[in-house]
Amino acid sequence: MWSKIAGVIFDLDGVLVCTDELHLRSWERLAREESLFFNEAIYSKRMRGAGRMACLATLLGQSPGGGSEAYTSAEKEALAERKNRYYQGLARTLTSDDATPGVRRMLTELRQRGIKTAIGSSSRNALLILERVGLSGLFEATVDGNDIARSKPDPQVFLLAAKRLGLSPSECLVVEDAPLGIEAARRAHMAVFGIGTAESLVGVKCLAPSLSQVTVDDLLAAGNCDQTSLPP
């Protein structure tokens, strides 16, 4: 059982902003240029929520002769940076209309109730995205891929977010849409609210198809859900 929820840590992509399509198109372009096998199923099942280099390793491993051993470390870094340039170009087209409906109201109500909020994202472009969709400055802490050495499912991003909020893991709730992020939250021994379906987020008891369909009371009640934390 968790303590009373005192902080809510939000994943960014797919929770506060719908950027999956931008990532998909960026990886798709890179795969096409490098003649690597890639499709939406690979992205959805193995890459969503993972860090950039982990995603690249997955992509390179999909094609015969295209494994990581076929590229030097410098070449892999260059590939990842090229994908990021494609993504940043697409991300700069985002506007406030791309934020999840109702998210500003939710953040305001959480603050009014004395609940701290943070971003816990593997993306290295979190600050750019928050600025583009008009959510900058609405969180007490932001932790993204630039702050961590290990991406999800490692719990580092959420544990650092809790530390920056001045809270213990048992006081924090994570709002996530990706299986890797759910696993990371459980390894951090934090309560979880899932954005998705029971089929895509197996074992998550508190969930909804979209954050726009969630109230603050729904979030805060998630600490009482029958969920099992994974060992660290």
Active site residues: 11, 13
Give bridge partners of residue 218 from the DSSP assignment.
none
Which amino acid makes up residue 220?
L
Query: Distance between CA atoms of 176 and 211, rounded to whole angstroms?
Result: 10
CA distance 4 to 23: 35
Which residues lie across from 120 on neighbouring strands?
143
Name beta bridge partners: 117.
8
The three-state secondary structure class of 111 is helix
- Rounded to 5 degrees, φ, ψ at 14 are 90, -10
CA pair distance 110, 118, nearest whole angstrom: 11
- Retrieve residue 191's tokens: 């309560």
How would you list the strands of the sheet with 207-208, edge to edge?
141-143, 116-120, 7-10, 172-176, 191-195, 207-208
The C-alpha R_g of the chain, in whole angstroms, comes to 17
